[in-house]
A and B are shown apart, each in its own frame.
Chain A
């Protein structure tokens, strides 16, 4: 049973989160182990399993971005999550800009203490990237999700590819924003 099926939903990205929560609470009342504590062991086991599945499904579906990530995995036949062992690669469109950024970052890190100018530059860049990150998320949740939901079976691979690209861009931006935040915090700590 996949996460959409747990809630009796189609594989669509537009989800009414209020209704989802209501359903989650109702199913929790049905399956939570607290209400099966006096049942025979095998019934307790079934409740535990159902409850664990329900919670994992709710976790994946309640947040719109997590929902897209899950849908992509599901469509690609990867039900379990892959290990995030490698840092996301820079999408080609961002490559050059990111290269400069990483260089500045490496320089700042090598120096240890950031001077005022370097701090300002990094802070400005971080804010700019943060805005891009938010744009990318808005695009994912808005038009790209709607496109998936409206796609005919023939159009789906293309819609999925767009979602995947946008997710990759977002993951990369997220990492760089975090790295910059860390560099600024470290630099401040030593200054």
Chain B
């Protein structure tokens, strides 16, 4: 049998790992440039798909067809995500109970976008091992419901991967820590990623990792921190630059490119403020450059309500496990957002002890997924994870009230049986509505599926005894079977998932995935040089507009000629020509850059920095933030 890889499919970044046979330790597989993290971003370009770092460079240039944070849309209906759509620059539409993203003439579903990320990781692993990889363990937030887990598994199938196990992120992290660090005792795993929050409490005993309780919020993470910073910045920009803004053709908040610039700057500032007390934001817009300082105290004031929102689920999990914060022996931090000092302080206060973070919070989940993969492959026999289902499973009864069949925090796999009968003479079909959640009324819970029990022999009302078995497997995914007890006949169960893809949809997407493959090396290099050309042209146009009068008219003329030449080359597919003319344009603007530098030194340009305007330096490298 083949090798099983472990994949952390994150909101912000994704990783792939395996267990080294020789050392027995999990290792991250880097890409050809030695990078561990694959940004979870997919750009749909006319020349093919771009994934990861290549796609990230398209965020500002193609905001409408570059999809990020797609994990927040996985297994969700339109109504679930409506509120946050206004913050996304791409168009999201309702589509048969789930959502679809319009990426320029084509609609893709969240599992297809995730599949592009999974395929890229699969290929990374295949290059590493020099063999085909067909099986993977993929992690999901512990608090993911059935639809979200199904969507993740569908994404694997579309990517040509059999997802042999879906494992919860915090529990995966505990496995990675558990290899040699954890003794017997109770541990809390606090996992705050880019888009999701989980808290899991475990009892570790001699290689058994028993999850006692889990809780969380699948819509809370570093993305939300960025969002509150962006809103705050928007307000400040509007207050300080209202004159320039009045001249803009598009309102700033509706300008996809500008909003992406803002979001990326906010994220970068947030990351810097984890290490520094204050930092400066500089955001060049077409007609002005925004510049301001932000302190850690200001950031903390902005994100405090969000950090506080994580504490409720922590307390609920403690209550479910029947323990208090003081009973927890060790606290483990997972997810890039746990680098934020305020988050660490709040966690420490709640549990009364210093949290662990020896393992890189960006990598620990993928390492744990690799450990779980190794367990499934038979490579580890002394470690066993006993995970739980995060949400109660129930069926809708008379009056729309939920009857709970499997309570939350039940160890999985688990099953429950329930008897059904008919209410009308001769009835041959019985309907069932299965929901997940903690609310009393079905309409307040998550609708998983509507079932139809068919093939019941016609009998007087109340006579048939149909036994329905609900089984939640080790992936946290539900399957249902039914049997009529009087005749012993298997009743057929027709499942209509409320928020999922049908079998046929998935098959079609598998086929289509070959059609819309990742851009090949040639195409990728072309996109890359065009990108570079676009960046330089944007900077030059901006510089001419803001400081064109600093050089002689002839000089200006030759810059404009070089610019026109590049515009022409960029329209073609000759990579060398584009690169050549990009270099030529850069050279043509050397004197302008110098003049701007001098002017900046003399203060003539105010706070604007010449180098920034000219874009000589690449934007500062952003260290990995959230998963």
Residues of A within 8 A of B (CB): 25, 28-29, 32-35, 37-38, 48-49, 51-53, 55-56, 58-59, 79-81, 83-85
A28 to B381, CA, bound (A): 12
Tell me whether A59 and B378 are in contact in the complex, defined as CB-CB below 8 angstroms, given that A33-B473, A52-B415, A80-B417 are known contacts. Answer: no
**Residue ID in chain A nearest B205 by CB atoms:** A25
One digit per residue, 1 when the CB lies within 8 angstroms of any chain A CB and 0 when it does not, for chain B 381-412 equals 10011100000000101110101110100111
User: Which of B205, B395, B414 is A56 in contact with, Cβ under 8 Å?
Assistant: B414
Check A81/B416 contact, CB under 8 A, given A25-B205, A34-B384, A37-B376: yes
User: Is the Cβ of B386 less than 8 Å from the Cβ of A28?
Assistant: yes
B413 near A: Cβ within 8 Å?
yes
Interface: B377 (CB within 8 A): yes
Report if A38-B377 is in contact (Cβ < 8 Å); known contacts: A32-B386, A59-B411, A80-B419: yes
Which residue in B208, B372, B395, B398 is a CB contact (below 8 Å) of A28? Answer: B208
| Known contacts A33-B473, A55-B411; A38/B378 CB under 8 A | yes
Distance in Å from the Cβ of B493 to the closest Cβ of chain A?
A: 17
Cα–Cα, bound, A38→B397 (Å): 40
Distance between Cα atoms of A81 and B472 in the complex (Å):
17
8 intermolecular pairs with C-beta atoms under 8 Å apart? A25-B206, A37-B377, A59-B407, A80-B416, A80-B417, A81-B418, A83-B397, A84-B404
**Contact (Cβ within 8 A) B415 A32:** no
Query: Is B430 among interface residues, defined by CB-CB distance under 8 A?
Result: no
Q: A53, A55, A83, A84: which contacts B410 (Cβ < 8 A)?
A: A55
**Contact of B410 with A33 in the complex, beta carbons under 8 Å:** no
Asked whether, in the complex, the Cβ of A85 is within 8 Å of the Cβ of B403, the reply is yes
Q: Find out whether the CB atom of A55 lies under 8 angstroms from the CB atom of B412.
A: yes
Q: How far is the CB of B214 from chain A (nearest CB, A)?
A: 15
User: Given the interface contacts A28-B384, A28-B386, A80-B418, does A33 sit within 8 Å of B413 by beta carbon?
Assistant: yes
Interface status of B375 (Cβ within 8 A of chain A): yes
User: In whole Å, how far is A107's beta carbon from the nearest beta carbon of chain B?
Assistant: 22
B60, CB-defined interface residue at 8 Å? no
Decide if A55 touches B414 in the complex (CB within 8 Å).
Answer: yes
A51 near B208 with CB under 8 A, answer no
Tell me the smallest distance from the CB of B141 to a CB of chain A, in Å.
20
Which residues in chain B, 448-483, are within 8 Å of chain A measured between CB atoms? 471-474
A53 neighbours in B (Cβ, 8 Å): 415
Beta-carbon contact of B474 and A33 below 8 Å? yes
A70 to B593, CA, bound (A): 80
CB distance from B541 to the nearest CB of A (A): 53
Contact A85 B474 (CB under 8 A): no
**Chain A residues whose C-beta falls within 8 Å of the C-beta of B552 in the assembled complex:** none
How many Cβ-Cβ contacts under 8 Å join chain A to chain B?
Answer: 81
Q: Kindly state the separation between the CA atoms of A80 and B419 in the bound complex, as whole angstroms.
A: 8
Q: Which residues of B contact A52 (CB under 8 A)?
A: 413-415, 471-472
Alpha-carbon distance A38/B381, docked complex (angstroms): 13
Q: Contacts of B239 on A, CB cut-off 8 Å?
A: none
* Chain B residues near A85 (CB-CB < 8 A): 397-399, 401, 403
Bound state CA distance, A37 and B401, in angstroms?
38
Cβ of B164 under 8 Å from chain A: yes
Question: Is B250 at the interface (CB under 8 A from chain A)?
Answer: no
Question: Nearest B residue to A85 by beta-carbon distance?
Answer: B397
Contact B416 A59, beta carbon cutoff 8 Å? no
Give A52 to B404 CA distance when docked, in angstroms: 17
Closest to B405 in A: A81
**Contact partner of A59 among B385, B414, B474, CB < 8 A?**
B414
- Closest Cβ of chain A to B374, distance in Å, is 11
B377-A58 in contact (CB<8A): no
Residues of B with C-beta under 8 A to A59? 407, 410-411, 414
The one of A38, A48, A81 that contacts B413, using a Cβ cutoff of 8 Å? A48
Q: Among B165, B386, B403, B419, find the residue whose CB has the most chain A CB atoms closer than 10 A.
A: B386
A49–B473 alpha-carbon span in the complex (Å):
9
The interface residues of chain A lying within 8 Å CB-to-CB of B419 are 80
A33 CA / B401 CA spacing, docked (Å): 34
Chain A residue nearest to B385 (CB atoms) is A34
B1 within 8 A of A: yes
A84 — which chain B residues lie within 8 A by C-beta?
403-404
A34 to B375, CA, bound (A): 7
Bound complex: CA of A52 vs CA of B399, how far in Å? 31
Q: Which 8 A-B pairs have the closest CB atoms?
A: A83-B403, A52-B415, A55-B411, A37-B376, A85-B397, A52-B413, A55-B414, A80-B417
- Cβ contacts under 8 Å, B474 to chain A: 32-34, 48, 51
**Among B205, B413, B471: residue with most chain A CB under 10 A:** B413
Q: How far is the CB of B465 from chain A (nearest CB, A)?
A: 11
Cβ–Cβ < 8 Å partners of A28 in chain B: 208, 384, 386
- Which residues of the other chain, A, contact B471 by a CB distance below 8 angstroms? 48, 52
Known A33-B413, A55-B411, A81-B416; further 11 A-B contacts with Cβ < 8 A: A25-B205, A25-B208, A28-B208, A38-B377, A48-B471, A48-B473, A52-B415, A52-B471, A56-B414, A79-B417, A85-B401
CA distance A58 to B386 in the complex (A): 12
| Nearest chain B residue, comparing its CB with the CB of A79 | B417
Cross-chain contact B411 with A58 (CB below 8 angstroms): yes
Q: How far is the CB of B522 from chain A (nearest CB, A)?
A: 41
Taking the closest CB of chain A, its distance from the CB of B586, in whole angstroms, is: 56
Among the interface residues A25, A56, A58, A83, which one has the most CB atoms of the partner chain B within 10 A?
A: A83
B484–chain A nearest beta-carbon distance, Å: 16
Determine whether the beta carbon of A35 is less than 8 Å from that of B384.
Answer: yes
Contact (Cβ within 8 A) A38 B404: no
Nearest Cβ on chain A to B408's Cβ, whole angstroms? 11
B398 in contact with A32 (CB, 8 Å):
no
**Which of A32, A48, A49, A52 has the largest number of chain B CB atoms within 10 A?**
A52
Which residues of B lie under 8 Å from residue A35 when comparing CB positions?
A: 375, 381, 384
B2 to chain A, nearest CB (A): 12
- Complex Cα–Cα for A49 and B418 (A): 16
Complex CA gap A32/B401 in Å reads 34
With both chains docked as a complex, state the minimum distance between the C-beta of A96 and any C-beta of chain B, in angstroms.
27
Q: Mark B205-222, 1 if CB is under 8 A from A, else 0.
A: 110101000000000000
- In the assembled complex, the Cα of A104 lies from the Cα of B25 at a distance in Å of 63
Q: Which of B1, B208, B398, B471 has the most CB of A within 10 A?
A: B208
Q: CA A131 – CA B385 in complex, angstroms?
A: 38
CA distance A80 to B416 in the complex (A): 8
* Complex contact A38–B410 (CB within 8 A): no
Query: Of residues A35, A37, A80, which shows the largest number of chain B Cβ atoms within 10 Å of its Cβ?
Result: A37
In the complex formed, the residue of B with least CB distance to A62 is B411
Chain B residues lying within 8 Å of A25, measured Cβ to Cβ, are 205-206, 208, 210
Q: How far is the CA of A164 from the CA of B414 in the complex (A)?
A: 26
Q: What is the bound-complex CA distance between A79 and B471, given in angstroms? A: 16
A136 to B623, CA, bound (A): 57
Find the A residue at minimum CB distance from B472: A52
Within the assembled complex, what's the spacing in Å between the Cα atoms of A52 and B475?
12
Q: Which residues of the other chain, A, contact B378 by a CB distance below 8 angstroms? A: 37-38
Report which of B164, B375, B376, B413 forms a contact with A51, defined as CB distance below 8 A: B413
